[in-house]
Amino acid sequence: MSDLRLVIFDVDGTLVDSQAEIMAAMTSAFGASHFTMPDRKSVLSIVGLSLNEAFAKLCPEASSAERAHLVQAYKDAFNDLRGPDGNAELSPLFPGALDALNVLRAQDNTLLAVATGKSRRGLDKMLERHGLSGVFHSEQVADHHPSKPNPSMILTALNETGVAPARAVMLGDTTYDMDMARAAGIRKIGVTWGYHAADTLKPDAMIETFAALSAAVDQLLGS
């Protein structure tokens, strides 16, 4: 039996602090519509969902056509925020993220993956901006899967890497991440610095800094 382990990362609110970018794009999208923008807490509560699902929660009264318009307006605003060269920095990595990734990357039996509500284009931009292109062995994005908490992204990552569910763990900041991991039958690590209250996550392990990640992975999966 393979001893490979898989650590799957959420992106927004877990690896990168994208709330400034998200709030700015939401402000622009709602400004181009007749809908009233919800408060900051409500907006951040949907981070991690696919955009269509996110707007369905934020604007339950919107028709499918109106929701599609909001989604496109959000995507356009997000793209504009990156500037003419696409490299404007609005979503910094959380402290310690890069070091934690490097520690795990150096382990021969540990593979890394991403499962994110971002689009393929959005993830590519983020990875390029932070020098992370090629770091992850499996990259699952909203373009190709049902929204979290459907387990499709995790199941595909397991299939692509050949890692058994018992040897995989999801790192995330939202209940969507935890519910997705539970549905896929893998372990889950919550972070305290993200967009959902830590006491709502109910993970198998909780970390307060990225420095604690490697030990938490060992605790749940074995070294």
Q: Which residue in 3, 10, 80, 124 is the catalytic one?
A: 10
How many C-beta atoms surround the C-beta of residue 184 within 10 A?
23
For the residues of 123-137, what is the DSSP string, one character each?
HHHHHHHTT-TT--S
Q: Which residues contact 28 (CB under 8 A, 6 or more apart)?
A: 73, 74, 76, 77, 80
- For residue 219, give both structure tokens: 């605790």
Best CA proximity match to 66, nearest among 35, 31, 22, 24: 35
Out of 3, 12, 99, 199, the active site residue is 12
Strands in 110-115's sheet, in edge-to-edge order, are 138-140, 110-115, 5-9, 168-172, 187-191, 205-207
Q: Is 143 a catalytic residue?
A: no
Q: What share of the chain is helix, strand, coil (3-state, %, to 5)?
A: 45, 15, 40
Structure tokens at 47: 């981070």
Known catalytic residue at 10: yes
Residue 126: count of CB within 10 angstroms of its CB: 22
Catalytic site residues?
A: 10, 12
